[in-house]
Amino acid sequence: MDEYIAQLLKLAEAVSELMCENLGLDRNHIKQAFSGTNGPSVGTKVAVYPQCPNPDVVRGLREHTDAGGIILLLQDDQVPGLEFLKEGQWQRIPPSRNNTIFVNTGDQLEVLSNGRYKSVLHHVMAEKHGSRVSIATFYNPAGDALISPAPELLYPDGYRFGDYLKLYSTTKFSDKGARFESMKTMANGRR
């Protein structure tokens, strides 16, 4: 189990580096933000969801988001049950084949990414046809870590709507991301 957790810690750090790259941040931003004084908090939970003869009258694990950062889940290879809410519909996650690790993001990554990565509502349904086992490893901030949106992901203060409208009038049918980046540059130039 110690070797398994050590390997998942490496995976979580690699995933955090890719997330940082995707966000345009320094590759160690998440790792540093999660570290606090003693490094990130890492924990593993093994959960067993027993077979249920009447799943229509029993809840498995009610809807929730995960509080932490990066969650690496090795779920049962035979019995389903995990579902995520996407666009108002519950989406069933199939059993893990070939030891596939499922990656989920928690509330602290939503804050750190200024909403670019979302913590997603999920639950576990009771199953009639077998017991389900899952092993979740949590790569979370340290208890004393200060969590806030990365400054690079915040809009600067103080641009005028009139300036935005001027830019908008010539870029209305272009990608809004480029327009927002132009406004950031303009606002940063005034500081």
- From CA 63, how far away is CA 143, in angstroms rounded? 24
pLDDT, residue 28, reads 97
Average pLDDT, rounded, for the chain: 90
pLDDT, residue 96, reads 87
Res. 187 pLDDT band, cuts 50 70 90? low
Q: What would the mean pLDDT of 114-130 be, rounded to a whole number?
A: 92
pLDDT, residue 107, reads 96
Cβ proximity of 179 and 163 under 8 Å: no
Q: Which of 125, 81, 76 is nearest to 97 (CA)?
A: 76
pLDDT, residue 156, reads 66
Give the strands of the sheet with 41-49, arranged side by side.
Answer: 41-49, 132-140, 70-75, 102-105
- From CA 104, how far away is CA 61, in angstroms rounded? 16
Cβ proximity of 120 and 155 under 8 Å: no
pLDDT, residue 159, reads 73
pLDDT, residue 90, reads 95
pLDDT, residue 174, reads 76
pLDDT, residue 21, reads 97
pLDDT, residue 189, reads 64
Cβ proximity of 111 and 23 under 8 Å: no
Return the half-sphere exposure (C-beta side, CA atoms, 13 A cut-off) of residue 166.
Answer: 8
Render pLDDT for 37-77 as a digit per residue (tens, 0 to 9). 989 999 999 999 999 999 888 878 888 999 999 999 998 89
pTM: 0.82
Q: State yes or no: pLDDT of 121 exceeds 70.
A: yes
Tokens for 3, please give them: 């070797």
Q: State yes or no: pLDDT of 157 exceeds 70.
A: no
